[in-house]
Protein backbone atom coordinates (compact mmCIF):
# COMPACT_ATOMS: atom_id res chain seq x y z
CA UNK A 1 0.00 0.00 0.00
CA UNK A 2 1.10 3.60 -0.65
CA UNK A 3 2.61 5.38 2.31
CA UNK A 4 0.81 8.56 3.32
CA UNK A 5 2.21 11.85 4.56
CA UNK A 6 0.84 15.14 5.80
CA UNK A 7 2.95 18.25 5.19
CA UNK A 8 2.03 21.19 7.45
CA UNK A 9 3.33 24.37 5.84
CA UNK A 10 3.00 22.88 2.35
CA UNK A 11 2.37 26.33 0.87
CA UNK A 12 5.78 27.50 2.07
CA UNK A 13 9.25 27.25 0.62
CA UNK A 14 10.56 24.04 2.20
CA UNK A 15 7.11 22.43 2.52
CA UNK A 16 6.31 22.79 -1.19
CA UNK A 17 9.65 21.23 -2.16
CA UNK A 18 9.08 18.43 0.36
CA UNK A 19 5.68 17.68 -1.20
CA UNK A 20 7.34 17.34 -4.62
CA UNK A 21 9.95 14.96 -3.27
CA UNK A 22 7.41 12.82 -1.38
CA UNK A 23 5.36 12.54 -4.58
CA UNK A 24 8.48 11.35 -6.42
CA UNK A 25 8.86 8.75 -3.65
CA UNK A 26 5.30 7.61 -4.44
CA UNK A 27 3.60 8.82 -1.23
CA UNK A 28 -0.03 9.92 -1.03
CA UNK A 29 0.38 13.48 0.24
CA UNK A 30 -1.92 16.00 1.85
CA UNK A 31 -0.70 19.55 2.28
CA UNK A 32 -2.07 22.08 4.72
CA UNK A 33 -1.27 25.77 4.94
CA UNK A 34 -2.81 29.23 5.19
CA UNK A 35 -2.06 29.58 1.50
CA UNK A 36 -1.27 27.62 -1.65
CA UNK A 37 2.35 27.73 -2.85
CA UNK A 38 2.79 31.11 -4.57
CA UNK A 39 5.23 30.13 -7.33
CA UNK A 40 4.10 26.75 -8.67
CA UNK A 41 1.04 24.58 -8.45
CA UNK A 42 1.10 22.20 -5.49
CA UNK A 43 1.78 18.58 -6.32
CA UNK A 44 -0.05 17.35 -3.22
CA UNK A 45 -2.91 14.89 -3.84
CA UNK A 46 -5.02 16.95 -1.50
CA UNK A 47 -4.50 20.46 -0.14
CA UNK A 48 -6.38 22.04 2.73
CA UNK A 49 -6.24 25.79 3.24
CA UNK A 50 -6.53 26.12 7.02
CA UNK A 51 -5.18 27.96 10.02
CA UNK A 52 -3.35 25.48 12.24
CA UNK A 53 -3.60 27.86 15.22
CA UNK A 54 -7.24 26.81 15.28
CA UNK A 55 -7.36 23.43 17.03
CA UNK A 56 -10.63 22.38 15.31
CA UNK A 57 -9.20 23.18 11.85
CA UNK A 58 -6.02 21.33 12.78
CA UNK A 59 -8.09 18.31 13.83
CA UNK A 60 -9.87 18.34 10.44
CA UNK A 61 -6.51 18.24 8.62
CA UNK A 62 -5.26 15.48 10.92
CA UNK A 63 -8.35 13.32 10.52
CA UNK A 64 -6.60 10.03 9.79
CA UNK A 65 -3.57 7.91 10.54
CA UNK A 66 -0.78 9.26 8.32
CA UNK A 67 2.40 7.21 8.21
CA UNK A 68 4.39 10.40 8.56
CA UNK A 69 3.65 14.02 9.46
CA UNK A 70 6.04 16.87 8.66
CA UNK A 71 5.43 19.97 10.79
CA UNK A 72 7.00 22.92 8.95
CA UNK A 73 4.29 25.54 9.44
CA UNK A 74 5.60 28.56 11.35
CA UNK A 75 5.38 32.32 11.51
CA UNK A 76 8.65 32.79 9.76
CA UNK A 77 10.85 35.22 7.85
CA UNK A 78 14.36 36.47 7.24
CA UNK A 79 16.34 38.89 9.42
CA UNK A 80 14.07 41.80 8.47
CA UNK A 81 11.13 39.95 10.05
CA UNK A 82 12.68 37.93 12.88
CA UNK A 83 15.44 40.17 14.24
CA UNK A 84 13.81 43.60 14.45
CA UNK A 85 11.82 42.66 17.57
CA UNK A 86 8.64 44.10 16.07
CA UNK A 87 7.03 40.71 15.48
CA UNK A 88 8.20 38.79 18.57
CA UNK A 89 4.86 38.31 20.32
CA UNK A 90 3.12 37.12 17.15
CA UNK A 91 5.99 34.83 16.17
CA UNK A 92 5.95 33.13 19.57
CA UNK A 93 2.20 32.91 19.94
CA UNK A 94 1.49 31.72 16.39
CA UNK A 95 4.21 29.12 16.12
CA UNK A 96 3.72 27.70 19.62
CA UNK A 97 -0.04 27.38 18.99
CA UNK A 98 0.57 25.54 15.71
CA UNK A 99 3.04 23.13 17.32
CA UNK A 100 0.77 22.39 20.29
CA UNK A 101 -2.23 21.76 18.04
CA UNK A 102 -0.38 19.58 15.53
CA UNK A 103 1.16 17.40 18.24
CA UNK A 104 -2.09 17.00 20.16
CA UNK A 105 -4.02 16.04 17.02
CA UNK A 106 -1.32 13.55 16.02
CA UNK A 107 -1.33 12.00 19.47
CA UNK A 108 -5.13 11.70 19.40
CA UNK A 109 -4.94 9.92 16.02
CA UNK A 110 -2.20 7.58 17.20
CA UNK A 111 0.30 8.96 14.70
CA UNK A 112 3.74 7.84 15.82
CA UNK A 113 6.21 9.92 13.85
CA UNK A 114 6.18 13.67 13.40
CA UNK A 115 9.08 15.65 11.95
CA UNK A 116 9.71 19.08 13.45
CA UNK A 117 11.82 21.79 11.78
CA UNK A 118 13.72 23.72 14.40
CA UNK A 119 16.44 26.20 13.56
CA UNK A 120 20.07 27.19 14.03
CA UNK A 121 18.57 30.26 15.72
CA UNK A 122 18.44 28.20 18.95
CA UNK A 123 22.21 28.47 19.44
CA UNK A 124 23.55 30.85 22.10
CA UNK A 125 24.76 34.27 21.04
CA UNK A 126 27.99 33.96 23.08
CA UNK A 127 29.17 31.05 20.90
CA UNK A 128 28.66 33.09 17.73
CA UNK A 129 30.57 36.29 18.44
CA UNK A 130 33.72 35.37 16.52
CA UNK A 131 32.85 35.28 12.81
CA UNK A 132 35.73 32.88 12.12
CA UNK A 133 34.97 30.37 14.89
CA UNK A 134 31.25 30.02 15.55
CA UNK A 135 30.40 26.99 17.68
CA UNK A 136 27.10 25.29 16.83
CA UNK A 137 27.37 21.64 17.82
CA UNK A 138 24.02 20.25 18.92
CA UNK A 139 24.83 20.03 22.64
CA UNK A 140 26.05 23.65 22.70
CA UNK A 141 22.42 24.86 22.64
CA UNK A 142 22.46 24.66 26.47
CA UNK A 143 22.73 26.68 28.67
CA UNK A 144 20.32 28.42 26.33
CA UNK A 145 20.75 32.00 25.12
CA UNK A 146 19.28 32.42 21.62
CA UNK A 147 19.45 35.96 20.19
CA UNK A 148 15.79 36.06 19.09
CA UNK A 149 12.38 35.15 20.47
CA UNK A 150 11.99 33.07 17.31
CA UNK A 151 14.92 30.97 18.61
CA UNK A 152 13.39 30.65 22.08
CA UNK A 153 10.10 29.43 20.63
CA UNK A 154 12.00 26.87 18.56
CA UNK A 155 13.79 25.60 21.68
CA UNK A 156 10.50 25.28 23.53
CA UNK A 157 8.93 23.39 20.63
CA UNK A 158 11.91 21.06 20.21
CA UNK A 159 11.47 20.11 23.84
CA UNK A 160 7.72 19.72 23.32
CA UNK A 161 8.20 17.22 20.46
CA UNK A 162 10.78 15.26 22.46
CA UNK A 163 8.59 15.33 25.60
CA UNK A 164 5.81 13.67 23.58
CA UNK A 165 8.32 10.94 22.67
CA UNK A 166 9.02 10.39 26.35
CA UNK A 167 5.52 10.64 27.79
CA UNK A 168 3.28 9.58 24.90
CA UNK A 169 5.38 6.89 23.20
CA UNK A 170 5.79 8.93 20.04
CA UNK A 171 8.80 8.67 17.75
CA UNK A 172 9.21 12.29 16.66
CA UNK A 173 12.24 13.70 14.86
CA UNK A 174 13.75 17.15 15.39
CA UNK A 175 16.08 18.89 12.92
CA UNK A 176 17.80 22.25 13.24
CA UNK A 177 17.88 23.77 9.76
CA UNK A 178 20.64 26.25 8.92
CA UNK A 179 19.70 28.92 6.31
CA UNK A 180 17.97 27.00 3.55
CA UNK A 181 17.84 28.58 0.11
CA UNK A 182 16.84 27.80 -3.46
CA UNK A 183 14.29 28.48 -6.19
CA UNK A 184 10.64 29.08 -5.30
CA UNK A 185 11.39 30.75 -1.96
CA UNK A 186 10.43 34.25 -0.81
CA UNK A 187 12.58 36.71 -2.76
CA UNK A 188 10.98 40.06 -1.95
CA UNK A 189 8.51 41.62 0.47
CA UNK A 190 10.47 41.46 3.74
CA UNK A 191 10.41 37.75 4.60
CA UNK A 192 13.18 36.75 2.19
CA UNK A 193 16.54 35.61 3.51
CA UNK A 194 20.06 36.73 2.62
CA UNK A 195 20.75 34.56 -0.49
CA UNK A 196 17.42 35.49 -2.09
CA UNK A 197 17.75 39.16 -1.14
CA UNK A 198 21.28 39.32 -2.57
CA UNK A 199 20.21 37.55 -5.79
CA UNK A 200 17.31 40.01 -6.19
CA UNK A 201 19.50 43.06 -5.56
CA UNK A 202 22.15 41.84 -8.01
CA UNK A 203 19.53 40.96 -10.64
CA UNK A 204 18.00 44.45 -10.35
CA UNK A 205 21.31 46.35 -10.41
CA UNK A 206 22.95 47.58 -13.59
CA UNK A 207 26.49 46.43 -14.24
CA UNK A 208 28.87 48.94 -12.62
CA UNK A 209 26.20 50.13 -10.17
CA UNK A 210 25.92 49.42 -6.44
CA UNK A 211 23.93 47.31 -4.02
CA UNK A 212 23.09 47.82 -0.37
CA UNK A 213 24.32 45.27 2.19
CA UNK A 214 23.15 45.18 5.82
CA UNK A 215 26.13 45.54 8.18
CA UNK A 216 29.81 45.44 7.23
CA UNK A 217 29.33 42.18 5.34
CA UNK A 218 31.99 40.42 7.45
CA UNK A 219 29.40 38.41 9.37
CA UNK A 220 29.66 34.72 8.44
CA UNK A 221 26.99 32.14 7.60
CA UNK A 222 26.55 28.86 5.79
CA UNK A 223 23.68 28.23 3.38
CA UNK A 224 22.12 24.89 2.49
CA UNK A 225 20.54 24.24 -0.88
CA UNK A 226 16.92 23.10 -0.70
CA UNK A 227 17.45 19.66 -2.30
CA UNK A 228 19.98 18.72 0.36
CA UNK A 229 17.68 20.01 3.10
CA UNK A 230 14.94 17.67 1.88
CA UNK A 231 17.39 14.77 1.56
CA UNK A 232 18.57 15.28 5.15
CA UNK A 233 14.98 15.60 6.36
CA UNK A 234 13.93 12.27 4.84
CA UNK A 235 17.09 10.56 6.07
CA UNK A 236 16.51 11.80 9.62
CA UNK A 237 12.85 10.75 9.47
CA UNK A 238 13.86 7.23 8.45
CA UNK A 239 16.70 6.97 10.97
CA UNK A 240 16.64 5.69 14.54
CA UNK A 241 17.80 9.04 15.93
CA UNK A 242 15.27 11.50 17.38
CA UNK A 243 17.55 14.56 17.31
CA UNK A 244 17.96 17.47 17.61
CA UNK A 245 20.24 17.25 14.58
CA UNK A 246 21.83 20.02 12.52
CA UNK A 247 20.82 19.95 8.85
CA UNK A 248 23.08 22.55 7.31
CA UNK A 249 26.10 23.18 5.17
CA UNK A 250 29.52 23.68 6.76
CA UNK A 251 30.83 25.79 3.86
CA UNK A 252 31.06 29.05 5.79
CA UNK A 253 31.32 32.36 3.90
CA UNK A 254 31.09 36.04 4.77
CA UNK A 255 28.11 37.94 3.40
CA UNK A 256 30.60 39.89 1.25
CA UNK A 257 31.82 36.60 -0.24
CA UNK A 258 28.22 35.57 -0.86
CA UNK A 259 27.66 38.83 -2.74
CA UNK A 260 30.86 38.30 -4.77
CA UNK A 261 29.71 34.81 -5.79
CA UNK A 262 26.32 36.08 -6.95
CA UNK A 263 27.97 38.95 -8.87
CA UNK A 264 30.25 36.46 -10.59
CA UNK A 265 27.28 34.25 -11.53
CA UNK A 266 25.45 37.31 -12.88
CA UNK A 267 28.54 38.57 -14.71
CA UNK A 268 28.25 41.98 -13.02
CA UNK A 269 30.70 44.21 -11.16
CA UNK A 270 28.91 46.04 -8.35
CA UNK A 271 30.00 48.34 -5.53
CA UNK A 272 28.84 47.21 -2.06
CA UNK A 273 27.22 49.98 -0.07
CA UNK A 274 27.18 48.89 3.59
CA UNK A 275 24.20 50.26 5.49
CA UNK A 276 22.84 49.59 8.97
CA UNK A 277 20.21 46.86 9.25
CA UNK A 278 19.34 43.77 11.30
CA UNK A 279 22.20 41.29 10.92
CA UNK A 280 21.71 38.66 13.65
CA UNK A 281 24.71 36.90 15.15
CA UNK A 282 28.28 37.68 14.04
CA UNK A 283 29.10 34.19 12.85
CA UNK A 284 27.27 30.91 12.29
CA UNK A 285 28.16 27.60 10.68
CA UNK A 286 26.66 24.15 10.81
CA UNK A 287 28.64 21.63 12.88
CA UNK A 288 28.19 18.41 10.94
CA UNK A 289 29.95 15.87 13.16
CA UNK A 290 26.70 14.45 14.58
CA UNK A 291 24.85 14.16 11.26
CA UNK A 292 27.82 12.29 9.81
CA UNK A 293 27.83 9.97 12.82
CA UNK A 294 24.06 9.37 12.99
CA UNK A 295 23.08 9.32 9.31
CA UNK A 296 26.42 8.41 7.65
CA UNK A 297 25.63 11.34 5.36
CA UNK A 298 26.25 15.05 5.25
CA UNK A 299 25.38 17.81 2.78
CA UNK A 300 28.09 18.23 0.16
CA UNK A 301 26.77 20.44 -2.67
CA UNK A 302 28.93 23.53 -3.15
CA UNK A 303 27.28 26.85 -2.32
CA UNK A 304 28.18 28.21 -5.75
CA UNK A 305 26.22 25.46 -7.50
CA UNK A 306 23.10 26.15 -5.44
CA UNK A 307 23.43 29.89 -6.01
CA UNK A 308 23.59 29.39 -9.79
CA UNK A 309 20.18 27.69 -9.76
CA UNK A 310 18.74 30.23 -7.32
CA UNK A 311 20.02 33.27 -9.20
CA UNK A 312 18.65 31.90 -12.45
CA UNK A 313 15.17 31.55 -10.90
CA UNK A 314 15.19 34.95 -9.15
CA UNK A 315 16.48 36.74 -12.24
CA UNK A 316 13.48 35.35 -14.13
CA UNK A 317 11.10 36.60 -11.40
CA UNK A 318 12.66 40.06 -11.55
CA UNK A 319 12.38 40.12 -15.35
CA UNK A 320 8.75 39.00 -15.25
CA UNK A 321 7.83 41.75 -12.77
CA UNK A 322 9.71 44.34 -14.81
CA UNK A 323 7.89 43.28 -17.98
CA UNK A 324 4.53 43.33 -16.18
CA UNK A 325 5.03 46.85 -14.83
CA UNK A 326 6.20 48.05 -18.25
CA UNK A 327 3.08 46.60 -19.96
P1 LIG B 1 7.86 29.54 4.89
O2 LIG B 1 7.45 30.79 5.58
O3 LIG B 1 8.07 29.57 3.43
O4 LIG B 1 6.83 28.37 5.21
C5 LIG B 1 6.08 28.32 6.40
C6 LIG B 1 4.64 28.12 6.01
O7 LIG B 1 3.85 28.03 7.20
C8 LIG B 1 4.07 29.29 5.18
O9 LIG B 1 3.61 28.84 3.93
C10 LIG B 1 2.93 29.82 6.04
O11 LIG B 1 1.80 30.25 5.30
C12 LIG B 1 2.60 28.60 6.89
N13 LIG B 1 1.89 29.00 8.09
C14 LIG B 1 2.19 30.02 8.93
N15 LIG B 1 1.25 30.14 9.86
C16 LIG B 1 0.34 29.16 9.62
C17 LIG B 1 -0.87 28.79 10.24
N18 LIG B 1 -1.32 29.45 11.31
N19 LIG B 1 -1.57 27.74 9.73
C20 LIG B 1 -1.13 27.08 8.64
N21 LIG B 1 0.02 27.39 8.00
C22 LIG B 1 0.74 28.43 8.49
O23 LIG B 1 9.19 29.04 5.65
P24 LIG B 1 10.20 27.89 5.24
O25 LIG B 1 11.48 28.55 4.91
O26 LIG B 1 9.60 26.94 4.29
O27 LIG B 1 10.39 27.18 6.66
C28 LIG B 1 9.71 25.98 7.02
C29 LIG B 1 10.08 25.62 8.45
O30 LIG B 1 11.51 25.46 8.57
C31 LIG B 1 9.68 26.65 9.48
O32 LIG B 1 9.27 26.00 10.65
C33 LIG B 1 10.96 27.40 9.75
O34 LIG B 1 10.97 27.98 11.02
C35 LIG B 1 11.99 26.28 9.61
N36 LIG B 1 13.32 26.79 9.28
C37 LIG B 1 13.55 27.34 8.04
C38 LIG B 1 14.81 27.82 7.74
C39 LIG B 1 15.11 28.44 6.39
O40 LIG B 1 16.25 28.84 6.18
N41 LIG B 1 14.17 28.53 5.47
C42 LIG B 1 15.85 27.76 8.70
C43 LIG B 1 15.57 27.23 9.94
C44 LIG B 1 14.30 26.72 10.23
Task: Give the chain's residues under pLDDT 50.
Answer: none
Domain 4-180+225-247 falls in which CATH fold? Rossmann fold (3.40.50)
pLDDT at 280: 81
Q: Which protein residue has the closest C-alpha to ligand 1 atom 21? A: 33
pLDDT at 249: 98
Predicted TM-score of the model (pTM): 0.97
The strand pair at 220-221 and 253-254 is best described as antiparallel
pLDDT at 325: 85
- Locate the domains of the chain by residue range: 4-180+225-247, 184-222+251-286+302-321
pLDDT at 176: 98
Distance CA 284, CA 123 (A): 9
Catalogue the long-range contacts made by 15-19 (C-beta closer than 8 Å, 24 or more residues apart). 15/70, 15/72, 15/73, 16/40, 16/42, 16/184, 17/182, 17/184, 17/226, 17/227, 17/229, 17/230, 18/70, 18/72, 18/230, 18/233, 19/43, 19/44
Q: Does domain 184-222+251-286+302-321 fall into CATH 3.90.25.10?
A: yes
Ligand 1 proximity of 42 Cβ (cutoff 6 Å): no
pLDDT at 59: 98
Q: Which atom from ligand 1 is nearest to the alpha carbon of 180?
A: 40
Spacing, Cα 192 to ligand 1 middle (Å): 12
Amino acid sequence: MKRSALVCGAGGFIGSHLVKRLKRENYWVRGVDLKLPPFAETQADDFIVADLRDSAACGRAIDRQYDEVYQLAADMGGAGYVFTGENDAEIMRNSAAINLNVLSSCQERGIGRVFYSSSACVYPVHNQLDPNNPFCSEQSAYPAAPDSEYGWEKLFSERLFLAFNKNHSMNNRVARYHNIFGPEGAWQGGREKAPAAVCRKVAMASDGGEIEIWGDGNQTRSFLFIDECIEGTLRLMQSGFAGPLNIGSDEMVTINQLVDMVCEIAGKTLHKNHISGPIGVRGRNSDNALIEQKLSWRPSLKLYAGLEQTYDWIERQVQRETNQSAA
